Amino acid sequence: EVQLVESGGGLIQPGGSLRLSCAASGFSVSSNHISWVRQAPGKGLEWVSVIYSSGGTFYADSVRGRFTISRDNSKNTLYLQMNSLRAEDTALYYCAKIDYGEDYWGQGTLVTVSS
């Protein structure tokens, strides 16, 4: 069974850093495209980043240069390193396996950027 479990969210001050993790089971992160998607409270979905099975990465303009997506194949885990955090990064962050017609989402981890 495919499962995605996010962790690492919390309250962080503006300008701070946080690393989110997404532990995968039922498939190999190294062989799949996996995205991060976020949703600010009461707002719409925002695509953040994707890592391809090839290792290629892409980012939304709003996070490019501040966020880095990566994976640890030995731990079967995806990461999102978030630096220079801003209030507008406050959101529920989902990891999602949604390419090629798949549809697997984690439960999300909440990031709150506030002083």
Contact residues: another protein, CB under 8 A: 35, 37, 44-47, 50, 52, 56, 58-61, 94, 98, 101, 103, 105-108
Residue with Cβ nearer another protein (67 or 94): 94
Task: Please state the closest distance from residue 12 (CB atom) to another protein, in A.
Answer: 23
Backbone conformation region of residue 55, classed left if phi is above 0, alpha if psi is from -120 to 50, else beta: left
Residue with Cβ nearer another protein (60 or 76): 60
Pairwise CA distance, residues 15 & 96, whole Å: 26
Task: Please state the closest distance from residue 13 (CB atom) to another protein, in A.
Answer: 27
Query: Which residues, 6+ apart, have CB-to-CB distance to 111 below 8 Å?
Result: 9, 10, 12, 18, 20, 38, 82, 85, 89, 90, 91, 92, 93
Residue with Cβ nearer another protein (13 or 61): 61
